[in-house]
Amino acid sequence: MARSVNSSRSCGLKPLAKVALVLEIGALAAVPLVLSAALRSHREITVHDPGIRGGPADAGNPFSGLNTEETTTFNDGQTNFTTVFAVPTGLGPLFDENQCSSCHIQPATGGSGPAAPATNPVFNVYQLDGATNNMPSFETQTGPILVPRFPYMSNLTTLDGTVHQLFTITGRSDATGCTIQQPNFTQAQSEGNLAFHIPLPTFGDGLVEFIENITLTNNMSTVCALQSTYGICGTANISGHDGSVNRLGWKAQWRGLNLATGEEMNVQLGVTNEYFPAELNQTTGCDFNPVPESATDFNPSIPEDQFTGDPERMAIFMRFLAPPIPATFNGNATNGQTQFSTVGCQLCHTVSFTTPVSPFTFMSQQTVTLYSDLLLHHMGPCLADNIVAGMAQGDMFRTPPLWGAGKRMFFLHDGRTSDILTAIQDHYCVANGQYPASEANTVINTFNALSPQNQQDILDFLRDL
């Protein structure tokens, strides 16, 4: 795919053309942005992303302190998380992958998408068991897993925003008679009606789930009081059900892990469950199983703790996943941590919160060093995906937690870069006629005014997280 960059970063685009630019600037672009010539020269020589931190995964393990029953349930959930689904066990009729762990494997089970040069796992499933799928052009062998969404319906006016699954079960040996067609991604791309999200890591999400609403909103008020100086004021994506602060997902669209897991099973795997019991596509001849396909099993011959369906077991597995373990900071990274706060990064990437008292002792009154306020922010037209989700507008994203950044391969919601410096610079964007300027502009200008050594120290600090 041809790639181009709007060097002015103004992104003054019409609504549909905007999404085309998201594709044009691409998944692996790494270009100098809004820097003076002198500073750009320093950057090219000295300031660089140190790359994925080596050594052990430093993630993927349960909290210490689980009792025997909790450990057993964690292990059972991990088994479900790595289970390969086929049509008889619920796969399809539409799907992106056939197991959760394929999209959540870097650097360990429960993480984000795989790192190059590993093969993008969707290439392992698209024609498995005789399926007749074609691989969409935007998926690449060593690139990130891109989950496609159509911002608009076919009339290109009415909002859509839902996932349009990559593949169907048509042609599979266990789906005889099914003839669903894949979405027309080529047409959607030509119309500028295509946006992507990449899988997020789940390490530590159990702690994120338990942070109290008032803790998040109080922090929001504190930061918003500085808005005239920094231009930053988060927005809570409030649940329409109980008024809670949603805090999981790129658009903060979920409040908790059970609902998120149930929805992702249905959307990404096509497996119906008690949270989402209807097939997403009900074409005659393609519904092979009673629904829900994963359900509570009231079977007197098994222990009661095994009654629950897959979403509950997998949610417990993720809830009990400990946060990533950072490296021990050296002098440069320690200075980088200081500079991170000095330039104002912590205004969105709040360093930590504390959980309330919990019946899970290993989660009770714990300091959660996640580097996120879990709120939505306007990021400008250059990052906008035109996807609306609750309070989240088309240019708004939840601040992604930075813990574990040292092991991440791809950054930003669409995985457009594997370079953490480029990801920082891509936070800068001026307004256009549709979306306001990025809230991060003042911070990025301050970052660019730092000495090359201080910039490098921030990158070293981030790769040590």
pLDDT digits (tens, 9 = 90+) for 324-359: 999 999 999 999 999 999 999 999 999 999 999 999
Is 352 inside a domain boundary?
yes
Distance in angstroms (rounded) separating the CA atoms of residues 42 and 213:
43
Report the run of H or E that residue 106 belongs to, with start and end: none
Is 243 or 298 the better-scoring residue by pLDDT?
243
- pLDDT for 44 equals 55
Q: How confident is the model at residue 297 (pLDDT cuts 50, 70, 90)?
A: confident
Count the domains in the chain: 1
For the ranges 115-129, 207-221, 367-381, which has the lowest average pLDDT?
Answer: 115-129
Say what the alpha-carbon torsion angle 71, 77, 81, 82 is, to the nearest 10 degrees: 60
Q: How confident is the model at residue 22 (pLDDT cuts 50, 70, 90)?
A: very low
Is 90 inside a domain boundary?
no
Question: What global pTM score does this model have?
Answer: 0.89
Q: In 3-state terms, what secondary structure has residue 378?
A: strand
Rounded mean pLDDT, 35-62: 76
Rounded mean pLDDT, 260-287: 96
Is 279 inside a domain boundary?
no
pLDDT at 2 over 50: no
Q: How confident is the model at residue 285 (pLDDT cuts 50, 70, 90)?
A: very high
Distance in angstroms (rounded) separating the CA atoms of residues 235 and 245:
10
DSSP secondary structure string for all residues of 5-36: --TT------HHHHHHHHHHH-SS-----S--
Is 199 inside a domain boundary?
no
pLDDT above 90 covers a percentage of the chain that reads 84
pLDDT at 6 over 70: no
Is 265 inside a domain boundary?
no
- pLDDT for 303 equals 75
Is 242 inside a domain boundary?
yes
Rounded mean pLDDT, 261-272: 98
Is 10 inside a domain boundary?
no
Give the chain's mean pLDDT.
90
Is 35 inside a domain boundary?
yes
Distance in angstroms (rounded) separating the CA atoms of residues 67 and 328:
29
pLDDT at 193 over 50: yes
Q: What is the pLDDT of residues 67-102, one digit of tens each?
A: 999 999 999 999 999 999 999 999 999 999 999 999
Tokens for 201? Answer: 């890591």
Number of residues in the chain: 465
Q: What is the pLDDT of residues 103-138, one digit of tens each?
A: 999 999 999 988 666 789 999 999 999 999 999 999
Residue 443 belongs to domain spanning: 15-54+212-247+347-463
pLDDT at 5 over 80: no
For the ranges 25-29, 166-170, 330-334, which has the lowest average pLDDT?
Answer: 25-29
Tokens for 279? Answer: 């097939």
For residues 388 and 15, is the Cβ–Cβ distance under 8 A?
A: no
Q: How confident is the model at residue 31 (pLDDT cuts 50, 70, 90)?
A: very low
pLDDT at 461 over 80: yes
Helices and strands: H and E segment counts in the chain: 14, 10
- pLDDT for 46 equals 86
